[in-house]
Structure 1
Amino acid sequence: MFLGFFPKIPYPAFMDPQTSRRRIPATMATQHPDNAGKPYWSNKPFISTAKEVEECFRSYSDLDCQEYMWDWEGKFVDEAVVDRLYLKHYDYFAAQPLGKERFLTFRVPNIKREGQARLARAFAGILSASYSAQQMKLYSPPLFEVIHPMTGSAEELIVLQKKFHETAKFQQKLLGTKLKPLYLNILPLIEGTGTLLKSRKILEKYTAFMTRFTGKRPGLIRPFIARSDPALDGGFLAAVLSAKAALSEYYLFQKTTGIRVAPMIGAGSLRFRGGLSPDTVDEFIKTYPGIRTVTVQSSFRYDHPLDKVQKAIAQLNQKLGSLDPIIFSTREMAEISRLDKIFVGHYRNTVEKSASFINGLAQYIPSRRERLQHTGHFGYSRRLGQAGLVLPRAITFTAIFYSVGIPPELIGLGRGLRDCHKEGLLPLLDKLYPELREVIREIGRYLNRENLEILAARFEHLQLVKSGVEYIESYLGEKLGPKTSEDFIHRNYTSNVVQNRLRGVSPEEDIVHAALTRHSLG
């Protein structure tokens, strides 16, 4: 393992947006529905599609988020977002142009897994935004990047690029103009732990295609590391290690090809989903050195005091990219793969047996956005081990376990640590993730031991979590449990959740109170 010392090449703001010399936004506000409380600009926690244009603008103007993710995947969408922003806030975007200083990035449907009609509408939105910008004498193109979710191969990115290029050429012919972009900057969002470990190959194959397709080698690529769905798929620790390995792979790709990378990571506030909140900025930057862009999700923005949020975003805008990346050796990558198999195996062994427990509580987790019918990561014909298990999406999954006082980070963790001890891998783990012990202590504050005893007596699979907690405590040399008065209040709400559920009463009110106390729904 060595630090990747690369020359600090600046990214000026006023350059061709599709080259390596454009500005790289540090903070991307997203529409992830993980907020427990209401936005500072609203009187209720539910955010309708009609309010998302306002949310987008406020993310720029109030919070100084430099980018906003406009989500076309699995939810209702306002397709006139750019026109609405321009018409209502013309002076702002004349001074802070979309595509130069502020960025609006569509997350389009996966090219293989969702209907093509929504993809075509997203393409039309990107191209019509350029037309609107030209008509209003604003910077063009305002939109030129898309996020492709659940990327499993370079072929998916290639098909997406070809389809957009064909659409753009047709639009030029139809309108009699030379609108840009003709090609997209595609941000491959890679979501499985196994895929993350091999993701350099995806970049190599895709950039080779783009060199042939456009006649020019790409100057920049922004690979997007998922943290939420890899945790749902393989557990907390496997997701962390896979993200670290992916970062290493991307900077090795940069070193060997000369194509600059600006890696992104999607992180929620709770550590199972990433662990980025206004309270953890320094820890997060240290855990993932080399990250250039982070998602600032709803709970980050809305479950903390506004001034605290603004200061944390300013800190991210200033500090991201300040630490040199770490590149792992071939041997270290093999060891990470070995650790991944250990922790994924124990996590899945528990979750495979938990479907009735999980889905029985899912109905009580409150909705925070308008979503289409969607079964989540496993629902796209994803299999968990051999069970073919369908689970709720990651936010709901995380909320369920936190609401009963069993942080999902603990699932499979203790048994994985035990196996690492037996195989002499704990020193390696400490080297790869030196913050782990302190992170577990923080997670452990939300453990409700009494609930774990009650539920383990009723659900056999939770006996595995109980025995795992015992090993975690021996690993740390201390007991897990509440430490502060706020922690004890959270424990009390989670006790209410379990007791109400056992007596057939809706626990939703206490679920919300617990979420407000921990500053995130899930």
Structure 2
Amino acid sequence: MKEEKENHILAGSAGRKIPAVMATQHPDNASVPYWHKTEFISTTDEVEECYRSFCDMGCDEYMWDWEGKFVDEAVMDRLFHQYYDYFSINHIGRDKFLTFRIPNIWEEPGFRIARAFMAIITGTDAAGELGFSHAPVFEVILPMTDNAEKLIHIQEQYYKTVRLTCQVFSTRLSGPVEINIIPLIEGSGSLIRSRSILLEYIDRFEKRFNHKVEYIRPFIARSDPALNSGMVPAVIAAKGAISEYYKFQNETGVFVYPIIGAGSLQFRGGLSPDAIENFMNEYAGVRTVTVQSAFRYDFNREVSTAAIKLLKRDISLKSPRIFSDSEMNDILEFDGIFRKPYCSTIERLASTINDISRHVPSHRERIQHTGLFGYSRGIKDSNIRLPRAISFTAAFYSLGIPPELIGTGRGIHDADKRGMLSKLESIYPNIKNDLKRAGCFLNKENLRMLAAADETWKDIITDVGILEDYIGSSFVPTCTDHFIHRNHVSNILHMWREGREFRREILSAGVIRRSLG
């Protein structure tokens, strides 16, 4: 197909293709997938989902997630045997890519990563038996990367696992002897300073493995920085990270192909089929984007597929903006300006959001975030625990309060007092557009009722007033869907207060806004 041949980047001595579009298992869909019967996708269903992401939707890559969820460890066997005709032409590891997001062993039990490593090794054997010459999996994503030593440690663990497997089973050396590691960096502060992690990594790698790193695919998180610090810090940190990665490339000669993980709603990234151009311009320089479940299932399939074609055609053509040292200092200052009011409000609303989030439907087989199994998210330097980003975002939207607005008004006020608004708009050109898109889902009546019961919500009333002055218009419904959404979230607030079940209302509101959270 024509779109499959356009604007592919080849990297490394082997000339591997850099995927432009990575389908993920993030459970942010509110609608039933076009190929399925319910919104819920089980572990066994994910094999079919992987195939359909490649075959039906044209994605280049699929993230197989081992972090905090149950996994079908026989994924490669199932793909090869159930869909042999497709993969005999579209080889995994050459034309299509399966990339494991492994558990962070400093946060989850280590035995889960051992299972992932064995799946990589045995999957390579399975591919070889069927005559495939490429290792199906040769890259893994390490979530919550915060230093270079952890990246090296994972690669050493994998190498030892390969050698031990060979010795124990008296077989030839199987599986890729080395795996590439994709650092997923999740805090806004860590993103801004992430060039130092890459510099230390390539130095340690060369000393440990006696050859140079050919390329790196640094992974920029958008959801968790927003949950931790608010929308504006998350956006500018991501843009700062893109700039830092290309500075690293210019400094070292090691090519970078940044990935960004974005959901459909503005708070989690704003990558939706109806906003592709804005997204590509805002995050120019990224070479791979994630299309999560809402992107694929909450829009008409033809619309989603056309958007994926556009991403594959154009994403590699966007040149990064390189920020000066002065601009990077501005980004750091804005991070503090906007994070402070956001965190202050979220800390005081945590119990409410945790309560609402318990009613958000779960569409994947997540491991419960209790004890040693899994982990929830929390605000940095705070003991407050929060739901994961999708449930967090869904909870606020279900109350009619888009989290994009929280702290942002007070941040705008502070930036204006410092004479920095023009600098902010230069760094974040889409800020007004993003606020308008989110603000259409604000339910002011709900906000007034919440504020009457808890003064913390009055901070958000302040935010709304400042932001309406800033964008020059009111946050009001602008189409029929917005009015219907307002009705659903009004129902949710009343049903929550009366102790009634409201999961179906949450789901109905999610369908209207084309994303659960």
Q: 1:98 aligns with which of 92, 95, 100?
A: 92
- 1:175–1:70 CA distance, 2 compared to 1 (3 A): farther
- Counting matched residue pairs gives 509
Q: Residues of 1 paired with 2:381 and 2:461: CA distance? A: 24
Q: Which residue of the partner structure matches residue 6 of structure 1?
A: none
| Matched residue, 2:202 | 207
Q: 1:294 and 1:352 mapped to 2: Cα distance?
A: 31
The corresponding residue for 1:126 is 120
Deviation larger for 75-84 or 109-118: 109-118
Q: Is the 8 A contact 2:376 2:388 kept in 1?
A: no
2:320 maps to 325
Could you tell me how far 1:439 is from its partner in structure 2? 1.4
Choose the corresponding residue for 1:51, options 22, 45, 62: 45
Q: State the shift of 1:382 in Å.
A: 6.6
Instruction: Note the C-alpha offset of 1:250.
Output: 0.4
Q: 1:487 aligns with which of 455, 462, 482?
A: 482
Instruction: Please give the alpha-carbon distance, in whole angstroms, between the structure 2 residues aligned to 1:257 and 1:386.
Output: 34
Report how far residue 111 of structure 1 moved. 2.7
Among candidates 251, 256, 266, match of residue 251 of structure 2: 256
* Candidates 220, 225, 231, aligned match of 1:236: 231
Is contact 1:150-1:189 (8 Å) kept? yes
Residues 122 and 175 of structure 2 are in contact (CA less than 8 Å); yes or no, is this contact kept in structure 1? no
Please name the residue that 2:342 is paired with.
347
For 2:8 and 2:173, the matched residues in 1 are separated by: 30
1:181 correspondence with 2:176:
yes
Distance 1:68 1:118 in 2: 20
Give TM-score, length-normalised by structure 2.
Answer: 0.96
Are 1:69 and 2:63 an aligned pair? Answer: yes
Q: Does structure 1 residue 513 correspond to structure 2 residue 508? A: yes
2:283 aligned residue: 288
Deviation of 1:384 after TM superposition, in Å, equals: 2.5
State which drifts further: 222-231 or 169-178: 169-178
Aligned equivalents of 1:380, 1:90: Cα separation in 2: 37
Cα distance in 1 for partners of 2:504, 2:110 equals 39
CA contact (8 A) 1:289 1:326 kept: yes
1:412-451 to 2 correspondences below 5 Å: 412-451=407-446
Identity over aligned pairs, percent: 48
CA displacement 1:37-71 (0-9 Å, x = unmatched): 11001111011111010100011000011000000
Structure 2 residue runs without a partner (length 5+): 1-6
Question: Deviations 1:121-143 (Å, cap 9, x if unpaired)?
Answer: 10000111111111111132111
**1:80-114 alpha-carbon deviations (Å, 9 max, x no partner):** 00000001111211111110100000000013111
Matched, 1:302 2:297: yes
Residue identity opposite 1:283 in structure 2: N
Report the CA distance between 1:210 and its aligned residue: 1.5
After superposition, the Cα gap between the structure-2 partners of 1:56 and 1:385, relative to the gap in structure 1 and judged at 3 Å, is closer
Aligned pair in 2 of structure 1 residues 95, 201: CA closer, same or farther (>3 Å)? same
> Given residue 343 of structure 1, which amino acid in structure 2 is its aligned partner?
F
Q: What is the deviation of 1:180?
A: 3.7
TM-superposed deviation, 1:386:
5.0
Q: How does 1:136-175 map to 2 (within 5 A)?
A: 136-173=130-167, 174-175=169-170
Partner of 1:11: 9
Aligned counterparts, 1:460-475, within 5 A: 460-475=455-470
Shift, 1:177, TM fit:
1.5
The reply on whether 1:219 has 2:214 as its aligned counterpart is yes
Task: Please report how far the alpha carbon of residue 206 of structure 1 lies from its aligned counterpart in structure 2 after TM superposition.
Answer: 0.8
1:382 & 1:209 partners in 2: Cα distance? 30
| Letter of the 1:11 counterpart | I
- TM-score (structure 1 length as normaliser): 0.95
The CA deviation string for residues 136-156 of structure 1, in whole angstroms up to 9 with x for no partner, is 111321110000000111111
Shift, 1:208, TM fit: 1.2
- Structure 1: stretches of 5+ with no match in the other structure: 1-8
* Partner residue, 1:36: 30
Counterpart for residue 368 of structure 1: 363
Contact 1:19 1:218 in 2 (8 A): no
1:502: how far off?
2.0
Which of 409, 413, 432 does residue 404 from structure 2 map onto? 409
Secondary structure at 2:391's aligned position in 1?
helix
Q: CA–CA distance in 1 between the matches of 2:66 and 2:338?
A: 33
Q: Answer whether contact 2:377 2:388 (CA < 8 A) is retained.
A: no
Q: How far, CA to CA, are the matches of 1:387 and 1:291 in structure 2? A: 32
